[in-house]
Structure 1
Amino acid sequence: MKDRVSGFKLSTSHFAKFWLIEPNIIFLNHGSFGACPIPVLEAQQRFRQLLERQPLKFYRELEALLDAAKSQLAEFVGADASDLVFVPNATTGINAVLRSLSFRPGDELLTTSQEYNACRNVLNFVAEMTGAKVVVAEVPFPINAPEQVVEAVVECVSPQTRLALLDHITSQTGLIFPIRELVKELSDRGIDTLVDGAHAPGMVSLNLREIGATYYTGNCHKWLCAPKGAAFLYVRRDRQSLIRPMIISHGANSFRADKSRFQLEFDWMGTDDPSAYLCVPEAIKFMGSLLPGGWSELRARNRSLVLQARELLCEVLGVAPSCPEGMIGTMAVVSLPDDGSGFEKVRSIPVIQDILWERFKIEVPVIYWPAYPKQLLRVSAQIYNKIEDYEYLAEVLPELFKEYDAI
């Protein structure tokens, strides 16, 4: 089999010119780390130049710049700016919350079987340190309805449940959880919620006030397309005095009364490059300017494209969709063969993700989930993608499985 499928012509989306992504690759993995548009990168470079031209002046003015950026981000995610702080990534936000709270032996920390590995590791660490117990709600997959998520979580609640760590959008399976319903069910039972919203900003319309979570953290570098190292942590007003940053610095003993300690501590944890945070408003503005309908049209366009991609891939692979369309945002997964007819037949060969990249220049994640040999292929859709990208993938996959079935 040749490295390029016969008849395939590489074409470029009209919007690809705004990104630095190499034009000779098929990039279907926006969900992993995002991709920052050139105009936003240029804005970041301007902030960096300001910093280096007069560092003292820049840092004297930094708090006001951060406040302005937080204000615009807060409007975008439906929160009050005083309830948000910047963090480098959602995992840092999860760490800040879980490692600030007090637990004791017998307490139960609830999560689901689809929680992101890095965040699950934080939960495990805290449980080991405090003697608390991690309880895992088994969310079915494939899944028929979002109500199954709620049922699975509620069934695991007990009088000892102190906190629930929940994905808003799962990384491995691309499912949008019914987060408002989950938060309400748990809140009604007196249980605080920590929502891992790493993929949510920019993929779905967010209103943190309506969601009602006690704690919520989300990345800005993924679907919002800010530079790497930009995320936020939301903490409900009545819990802010409990939450401390991972780095303790000057804000810990500040005498200022014009801001909460929550804001003062997170705003300054030592010298670093804050340009990614400051570019969040530029990312919101730029991405919202690409289509006449702004962010609403952008989200709808990307969702429509990923649903088309899922339908196409399911058809060529002869598999059923793993979840209803209502649980899909701008990422979707399809199951790959795991019955001995594909790559798992020969353990020594590279995984399919490597082969797709090395031979066909298709960047798309393949995940052994929930465990080997079951495989999921996850596609993302961003405005620089086009249906031809997925058509090429759909042409490649069946041929690859035929090729390796003969080994």
Structure 2
Amino acid sequence: MPIHEFPPSHAARVRPLWDLDPTIVYLNHGSFGACPLPIREAQDRLRAQMEREAVRFFLRELEPLAAAAREALGAFVGAGPDDIAFVPNATAGVNTVLRSLDLRPGDELVTTDHEYNACKNALDAAAARAGARVVVARVPFPIDSPDHVVTAVLDCVGPRTRLVLVDHVTSQTGLVLPVERLVPELARRGVDTLVDGAHAPGMVPLDLRALGAAYYTGNCHKWMCAPKGAAFLHVRPDKQLDVRPLSISHGANSTRTDVSRFRLEFDWTGTHDPTPYLVLPEAIRFLSSLLPGGIAALAAHNRGTVLAARERLCEALDVPPPTPDAMIGSLASVPLPDGTGEPPPPPFSFDPLQEALFTRHSIEVPVTPFPPPRGRLLRISAQIYNDAEEYARLVDALRAEGVS
């Protein structure tokens, strides 16, 4: 008898709110999100306002609109609005912090072997520029306790450690890491933490003031369902003087004294389309309206769905759940039989099984190398528009491909 039952489905009711391809079983919300129609319509209205009179929009209307978006986002993630800078994505947030650090030869930057490839590349580039060193903590997968994460990271911290970059929710393995334990432990050792929260906003509860990390960056286009291009960087007030945007613009020599230097530099980095983050208040309202109990109920529904779906997949593949339930949010990864030993496919290319599931079964679900070159994971997402039947179709497709 299954331990986890699928929660009541709302898919038929809510799917019309998303303009998803009806011919595709979309089990990959985690990669790029999916923006619902009401939020896109709100963005379209703002874009029309911007194009109707661009000078008025950028020089008279943008500042109060951005302030309202920061207020809404700050309340949602437990942060002061003046401590939030909008960035296009979490990768840009990570790069912003790394470019702002005054690294010296011999300094050490610590991360885990679950870190997102783009951000690991940024870490390597920052270290190479300064003659610093990247130290990689080996976190086991499968894993049976978050204690292994804490031990693995802290064992890599030494007297030359300047920063620890750690995922809040890992991309390949779908683990919710114990950042609320790591951040204070690292602070006691005099080490700052940069939390890569690409998947966290809208999936797990956030209180950035209580967390106390020096830096936290998160995407809003994934589990908050905002348009692509909406993300944030939260910088603790005592660190803000040293953090500068990737593009230096007019704020660098502004004489204004009514806002902080941090805000002056990040609020204007050149002409761009700000509407993805300006509609965050609408995105929060929309997600809050989907279920009684608001976004907390939505996150719980998605987690219940992914736990039940993971259980069915593990049964079909005859593998035990690779992680405890407590380390799962709205993503879950399940080990697949070993690959051929060939090098893993490069970024933005597909494992043959992923391509077969898409082309022969119309199922969009990622198959990722972990650990490369032979290990492979099937990662499922759960959003409210998914239902049990779609995961059953995935199990049937895996059997048809000779996997289970």
- Identify the TM-score tier after normalising by the shorter chain: over 0.9
2:311 maps to which residue? 311
2:241 maps to which residue? 241
Any conservation in 1 of the 2:351–2:367 contact (CA below 8 Å)? no
Which one-letter code corresponds to 1:188 in the other structure?
A: R
Any conservation in 2 of the 1:50–1:58 contact (CA below 8 Å)? yes
What SS is found at the alignment partner of 2:75?
A: helix
Which one-letter code corresponds to 1:44 in the other structure?
A: Q
Q: Does 1:20 align with 2:25?
A: no
Q: Does 1:206 align with 2:206?
A: yes
Provide TM-score, normalisation by structure 1. Answer: 0.93
Q: CA deviation at 1:97?
A: 0.5
2:49 maps to which residue? 50
Indicate the percent of aligned positions where both proteins have the same amino acid.
58
Q: CA deviation at 1:23?
A: 1.1
Any conservation in 1 of the 2:337–2:403 contact (CA below 8 Å)? no
Counterpart mapping for 1:226-375 below 5 A: 226-338=226-338, 351-375=352-376
What SS is found at the alignment partner of 1:401?
A: coil
Q: CA offsets per residue over residues 247-284 of structure 1, 9 Å max, x none?
A: 01000000111111111111111111100010111111
Query: For residues 374 and 244 of structure 1, do their structure 2 counterparts lie closer, same or farther at Cα, with a shift above 3 Å needed?
Result: same
Q: CA deviation at 1:396?
A: 1.3
Q: Does 1:70 align with 2:70?
A: yes
Any conservation in 1 of the 2:354–2:366 contact (CA below 8 Å)? yes
1:33 maps to which residue? 32
2:378 maps to which residue? 377
Query: For residues 339 and 260 of structure 1, do their structure 2 counterparts lie closer, same or farther at Cα, with a shift above 3 Å needed?
Result: closer
1:175 maps to which residue? 175
Any conservation in 2 of the 1:13–1:385 contact (CA below 8 Å)? no
Any conservation in 2 of the 1:91–1:119 contact (CA below 8 Å)? yes
Which one-letter code corresponds to 1:114 in the other structure?
A: H
1:8 maps to which residue? none
Q: CA deviation at 1:372?
A: 2.4
Distance 1:288 1:64 in 2: 23
CA RMSD of aligned residues (A): 1.6
What SS is found at the alignment partner of 2:109?
A: strand
1:390 maps to which residue? 391
Which one-letter code corresponds to 2:333 in the other structure?
A: V
Any conservation in 2 of the 1:229–1:276 contact (CA below 8 Å)? yes
Distance 2:247 2:403 in 1: 53
Which one-letter code corresponds to 1:377 in the other structure?
A: L
Any conservation in 1 of the 2:11–2:384 contact (CA below 8 Å)? no
Query: For residues 79 and 339 of structure 1, do their structure 2 counterparts lie closer, same or farther at Cα, with a shift above 3 Å needed?
Result: closer
Any conservation in 1 of the 2:317–2:403 contact (CA below 8 Å)? no
Gaps of 5+ in 2: 1-9
Question: Mean Cα displacement is larger for which, 190-199 or 368-377?
Answer: 368-377
Provide TM-score, normalisation by structure 2. Answer: 0.94
Distance 1:92 1:215 in 2: 13
Q: CA deviation at 1:293?
A: 1.1
Q: Does 1:122 align with 2:122?
A: yes
Distance 2:292 2:163 in 1: 42
What SS is found at the alignment partner of 1:193?
A: strand
Any conservation in 1 of the 2:339–2:376 contact (CA below 8 Å)? no
Distance 1:25 1:118 in 2: 28
Runs of at least 4 residues off by over 6 Å? none
Which one-letter code corresponds to 1:368 in the other structure?
A: P
Distance 1:290 1:186 in 2: 38
Query: For residues 376 and 227 of structure 1, do their structure 2 counterparts lie closer, same or farther at Cα, with a shift above 3 Å needed?
Result: same
Any conservation in 2 of the 1:12–1:23 contact (CA below 8 Å)? no
What SS is found at the alignment partner of 1:224?
A: coil
Q: CA deviation at 1:296?
A: 1.1
Q: CA deviation at 1:13?
A: 2.6
